[in-house]
């Protein structure tokens, strides 16, 4: 949270659910993130390897994981809409990926994510939390999930990302030319995934990244999908930057 609030000069304990009360704060934060993403990415990377992967490592018999090198950041202000019902395979994601949904604000009502408990059940259950700093893991690749228009009086801020056990990552043969085949479009070119392996020391086991952190690109979504910030800001606010 601090890595984000620092981008636009807010105090560390600033309540991000009130971000919409500051004119242009969302767009300023997103713009600043594309210019100075390294600190946020480094903290995120440590969070994935130090907190999230240890949560699921016992479920998989593997010594390495692939994970999204930069998360998808969601800032959904009152009266804004995020995304309709979908399972991530419909967007070309690996069918064995585990989704992690990390809340930086409270969530509930229409300012939340709705999930089905198993593939095809459509027994929608909202993620409702009265506090921030909550992490949820779910099979978002095959289980549908969605958000609706935020009709609450607060902003929902979260980030999400995907983790894949290495054995499952390589089992997918990207059969896009096969009837019923599945293709992971996010590994057609490098940079979307990082890989970490289990290493051992006198202080115990830990998950260590292989190689440097790549620069995020449009595959992680907005704000990296903006091709020209001068044009974009001019259209949104009638001014250029």
- Alpha carbon distance 195, 210 (integer Å): 6
CB 143 within 8 A of CB 113: no
Contacts of 36 (CB under 8 A, 6+ apart): 7
- Alpha carbon distance 112, 226 (integer Å): 25
* 57-to-38, 47, 64, 76, 107 alpha-carbon distances in Å: 27, 15, 9, 31, 27
CA dihedral for 77, 75, 126, 87, sign (positive or negative): positive
What values do phi and psi take at 177, rounded to 5? Answer: -100, 10
| E strand segments, 82-155 | 98-103, 114-115, 125-126, 134-138, 145-146
Per-residue pLDDT of the chain (241 residues), as tens digits, is: 899 999 999 998 999 999 999 999 999 999 999 999 999 999 999 999 999 999 999 999 889 999 999 999 999 999 998 888 999 998 989 999 999 999 999 999 999 999 999 999 999 999 998 888 899 999 999 999 999 999 999 999 999 999 999 988 887 765 545 555 567 889 889 999 999 999 987 777 899 999 999 999 999 999 999 999 999 888 877 754 4
């Amino acid at each position: 949270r601090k890595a984000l609030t620092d981008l636009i000069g807010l105090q560390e304990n600033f309540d991000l659910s009130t971000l919409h009360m500051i004119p242009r704060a969302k767009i300023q934060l997103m713009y600043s993130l594309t210019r100075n993403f390294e600190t946020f990415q480094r903290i995120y990377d440590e969070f994935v390897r130090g907190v999230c992967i240890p949560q699921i490592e016992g479920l998989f018999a593997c010594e390495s994981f692939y994970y999204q090198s930069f998360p998808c950041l969601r800032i959904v202000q009152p009266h804004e809409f995020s995304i309709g019902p979908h399972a991530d395979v419909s967007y070309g994601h690996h069918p064995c990926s585990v989704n992690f949904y990390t809340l930086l604000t409270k969530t509930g009502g229409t300012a939340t994510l709705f999930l089905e408990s198993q593939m095809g059940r459509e027994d929608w259950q909202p993620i409702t939390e009265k506090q921030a700093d909550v992490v949820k893991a779910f099979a978002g690749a095959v289980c549908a999930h969605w958000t609706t228009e935020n009709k609450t009086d607060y902003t929902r801020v979260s980030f999400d990302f995907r983790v894949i056990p290495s054995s499952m990552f390589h089992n997918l043969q990207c059969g896009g030319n096969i009837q019923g085949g599945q293709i992971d479009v996010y590994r057609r070119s490098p940079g979307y995934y990082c890989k970490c392996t289990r290493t051992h020391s006198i202080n115990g086991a830990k998950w260590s990244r292989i190689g440097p952190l790549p620069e995020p690109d449009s595959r992680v979504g907005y704000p990296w999908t903006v091709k020209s910030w001068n044009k974009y800001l001019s259209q949104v606010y009638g001014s250029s930057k």
